[in-house]
Amino acid sequence: VYDIPDVKENSKIFTILAIGIFTIATAQFKLTPDNFKNAEMQEKDFIVFEYPGLTQKQIFDKAKMYIHSNFKNLKGDGFNEVEPSQIKLRLRQRFEANKVFGMVNTWVLNSVYEFNFKDGKIMIRPVYEYIELPSSSGTEKSMYLTGGSGILGKSVFKKDGSVWVDKEIFNRIENTVNDFTNGLNKSITKNED
């Protein structure tokens, strides 16, 4: 005689698994005056993704492959590694925002990512450095996280912690970091036959 499993019990297990997968897939960073923070636990400035069954070396190799396939010419201080435990990556990520007279401005987010690897885990910590602002005068302007003024150039946040930049630009900064982080996560979880 076969024991028929309880449908309610199976649906509970499926729901728990689905919530776990959804949580991993949507783990996001929020930009704060204290730099990027884990959106769900803002006392932390990192996210940990778990990959049961993968070794430290396998996760390291997959992360390195993803980085090199998405970013060319990482020279000098752009890519540093201590195989298989850590990668430090300095990136210049372009994004478009603010149409002015029908032309789209390109902004460049300069950030540093730190990746630490263990068996079955990766820890990701992004750090905002500054944004290179588009300039018609040819002189380069930079937007830092805090400390700007209307005369010297705005910063992302005002002294009181409120967002100073345009909401679209603020969202693009967060999306640039989160898209990269989630793309890396998906690349590591992808099975290769």
Q: What would the mean pLDDT of 129-145 be, rounded to a whole number?
A: 79
pLDDT at 121: 97
- Return the CA Rg of the chain: 20
Provide the pLDDT confidence category of residue 64 given band limits of 50, 70 and 90. very high
In the chain, what is the straight-line distance between the N-terminal and C-terminal CA atoms, in Å?
A: 38
Question: Bigger pLDDT: 52 or 104?
Answer: 52
Q: CA–CA separation, 104 vs 109, rounded Å?
A: 16
